[in-house]
A = this chain, B = another copy of it.
Amino acid sequence: MNVALLVCYDGTDFSGWQIQKNGRTVQYELESALSRAFSLSVRVTGSGRTDAGVHAAGQVCNFPFDENIKIAPEKIADALNACLPQDVRVLKSAAVPEEFDACRSAKKKTYRYCVYLSRREHPLMERYAVRSGERPDPARMKACAALLEGEHDFAAFSASGSSVKTTVRTVYSAAVGEQMRFGVPCVSFDVCGNGFLYNMVRIMAGAVLAFGAGRLSEKEILAALRTGDREVLSKTMPAKGLTLLSVDYGFPLFGE
What residues make up the interface of A, taking CB atoms closer than 8 Å to B? Answer: 8-10, 55, 57-58, 77-78, 81, 86-92, 112, 118, 120-124, 126-128, 179, 182-184, 243, 245-246
Residues of B close to A89: CB separation below 8 A: 120-123
Residues of B close to A77: CB separation below 8 A: 120
**Copy count, this protein chain:** 2
Residues of B close to A245: CB separation below 8 A: 182-183
> In whole angstroms, how far apart are the Cα atoms of A81 and B8 in the complex?
32
Are A183 and B58 in touch, CB under 8 angstroms? yes
Supposing A91-B118, A112-B182, A182-B243 touch, asked if A57 and B8 sit within 8 A by C-beta, the answer is: no
CB closest residue in chain B, given A87: B123
**Which residue, A122, A124, A126, has most C-beta atoms of chain B within 10 A?**
A124
Are A81 and B121 in touch, CB under 8 angstroms? yes
CB closest residue in chain B, given A114: B182
Supposing A91-B118, A118-B91 touch, asked if A246 and B123 sit within 8 A by C-beta, the answer is: no
**Which residue, A57, A90, A184, has most C-beta atoms of chain B within 10 A?**
A57
Are A123 and B10 in touch, CB under 8 angstroms? yes
> A88-B123, A127-B127 are known contacts; what are 8 more A-B pairs with Cβ within 8 Å?
A8-B122, A10-B124, A57-B183, A78-B120, A81-B120, A86-B121, A86-B123, A124-B128
> In whole angstroms, how far apart are the Cα atoms of A86 and B122 in the complex?
9
CB closest residue in chain B, given A128: B124
